[in-house]
Amino acid sequence: MMNDKRYYKRYKVFLEGKAEACGGVLFSVEVLDISIEGARLRTSSQIPLKEGEVVNMIIKWKTPVKAKAEVRWVKNNDFFTELGVEFKEMDMTSRKTLSFLISNLALSSPSDVYFL
């Protein structure tokens, strides 16, 4: 079993967004889970992304979250591409919006402590 190296909890979501890879390739993404430090994304097409590549992205929420993110892993199959990104740069407005989103998700998720 692999050890999870993440420091922050990830929350399952379904949010829409857009990303732009190097070279100007623009593609739509679904945000499948998110934390304060990164997200798991899915796109309905195969995008030639590599680990370490930087993408500019916008996550659609009440106020859009704009970030520069590094691709940490990529999984391609016949129908879609799934990738994990780590947020690297974000302006203060987007950081506050992301914090508010994470707070809302945390408050609406039952804690493991209730099931002891």
Q: Kindly give the parts of the chain with pLDDT less than 70.
A: 1-7, 110-116
Output the pLDDT for position 2. Answer: 47
In this predicted structure, what is the pLDDT of residue 71? 96
pLDDT of residue 1: 41
Q: Is 116 inside a domain boundary?
A: no
CA–CA separation, 26 and 56 (whole Å): 9
Would you say 2 and 23 are in contact if contact means Cβ atoms under 8 Å apart? no
- pLDDT, residue 48, reads 83
CATH code for the domain of 56: 2.40.10.220
Please tell me the predicted confidence (pLDDT) of residue 4: 56
pLDDT value at position 25?
Answer: 86
Report yes or no on 90 lying in a domain: yes
Whole-number pLDDT of residue 75: 94
CA dist., res. 58 & res. 66, Å (int): 5
Q: Does residue 78 sit within a domain?
A: yes
Pairwise CA distance, residues 70 & 53, whole Å: 6
Rounded-to-integer distance, Cα 23 and Cα 51, Å: 15
Domain count, the chain: 1
Domain span at residue 102? 11-109
